[in-house]
Amino acid sequence: MEEKKVIFSGIQPTGTFTLGNYLGAVKNWGPLQEQYNCIYCVVDLHAITVRQDPAKLRQNTLNSYALLMACGIDVEKSVLFIQSHAPTHPMLSWVLSCCTQFGELSRMTQFKDKSQRHPDDVNAGLFTYPVLMAADILAYNADLVPVGIDQKQHLELARNIAQRFNQRYGDYFTVPDAYISEVGAKIMSLQEPTKKMSKSDENPNACILILDDKDTIIRKFKRAVTDSEAEVCCREGKDGINNLMTIYSIFTGRSFDEITSDFAGKGYGDFKLAVGEAVADGLEPVRTEFARLVQDKAYLKKCYTEGAEKALKISSRITSKVYHKVGFVDNR
């Protein structure tokens, strides 16, 4: 029988997940469990590339872990763990950093954005962030990496790093492919629909958090920026409406044409309310399951401890092999 392919992905515990994180990434992770060997990780090491309050980081990490479970990741089917519990990732990252060029890292748009946003703390970790991300993926020889479109450039870099290592030391790493969904790969801000929806947006009306209650979700959609026409249809330049149609389509299964005819002759007010209700109702099971899981600290601890054990088992074997290939003296 053919071996199942390996999937790896991660999410930063930099706050509560947004609707963008959910539709672009996390919502797709659960269904993949049936077909692949899935490994998912809360990437707390990546989170400290921007300043974090330690108590909040710890809380956000545990909440993110529980939220991934609430979004459908089953710890019996997937490996679900916290990145800092697997020191193999930074161990591998060092080796990979020596296969990465300064120029390559300088071209990363996320680095350029984040260093502009935090000019007082352009730290080395922010710069080498994509190398650690490559290590996350290569430590499991993952075949596919389900992410939103904003991570495509990092994925290309991970591929280049894997290829360079393979050329230098002999074929070892699987060169991973990005796995980007056709719809929802880039959900836009509700306030500035030409910008991606992001956890770190300062305007709370710009993003839907998946734990927002129904009233809040509806209120935020009511305030969403659209255009001065009154036609619910997908067209260039109608960024706000295109974004709302994408969201509505994912939650209801209606195609763009169907949505346009459903709302023909109706105003944007009706459409925004319908989107708000569809999203709030669609996220209800996630909110309920999250509320149940966070209560059970002992169970969560058991899950992330076992997750780390499984992750370490795989990544230690691969990291030892890499250390040997590079020429480090074996210590066993």
**Which one of ligand ATP, ligand LTN, none interacts with residue 154, CB within 5 to 8 A by kind?**
ligand LTN
Q: Which of residues 12-31 bind ligand LTN (CB under 6 A)?
A: 12
Catalytic residue among 5, 199, 214, 222: 199
Contact partner, 136, from ligand ATP, ligand LTN, none, Cβ < 5-8 Å per class: ligand LTN
147: contact with ligand ATP by CB under 6 A = yes
Known catalytic residue: 272? no
Q: Where are the alpha helices (DSSP H) in the chain?
A: 19-21, 27-32, 44-47, 54-70, 88-97, 102-106, 109-117, 124-138, 152-169, 214-222, 239-252, 256-262, 268-295, 297-326
Retrieve residue 64's tokens: 């993110």
Task: Determine which residue in the list 7, 9, 26, 159 makes contact with ligand LTN, applying CB under 6 A.
Answer: 9
11 binds ligand ATP (CB under 6 A): yes
Q: Which of 134, 116, 120, 282 is nearest to 200 (CA)?
A: 116
> Order of strands, edge to edge, in the sheet holding 144-146?
79-82, 37-42, 6-11, 144-146, 177-179
Q: Which residue is nearest to ligand LTN (CB)?
A: 10
Is 199 annotated as catalytic? yes
Contact 104, 157 (CB under 8 A): yes
Bridge partners of residue 9, in order along the sequence? 40
- Catalytic (active site) residue 195: no
Instruction: Considering the complex, state which of residue 8 and residue 22 has its C-beta at the smaller distance from ligand LTN.
Output: 8
Select from ligand LTN, ligand ATP, none the partner in contact with residue 239, using the beta carbon and a kind-dependent cut-off of 5 to 8 Å.
none
| Active-site annotation holder among 196, 220, 238, 272 | 196
Q: What is the C-alpha separation between 2 and 37, in angstroms, rounded?
A: 12
Give strand pairing partners of 328. Answer: none
The residues in 197-216 that bind ligand ATP, with binding defined as CB under 6 A, are 197-200
Residue 130 binds ligand ATP (CB under 6 A): no
36 within 8 A of 6, measured Cβ to Cβ: yes
Q: Which of 6, 7, 8, 25 binds ligand ATP (CB under 6 A)?
A: 25
Catalog residues that contact ligand LTN under the rule CB under 6 A.
Answer: 8-10, 12, 43, 46, 133, 136-137, 145, 147, 151, 154
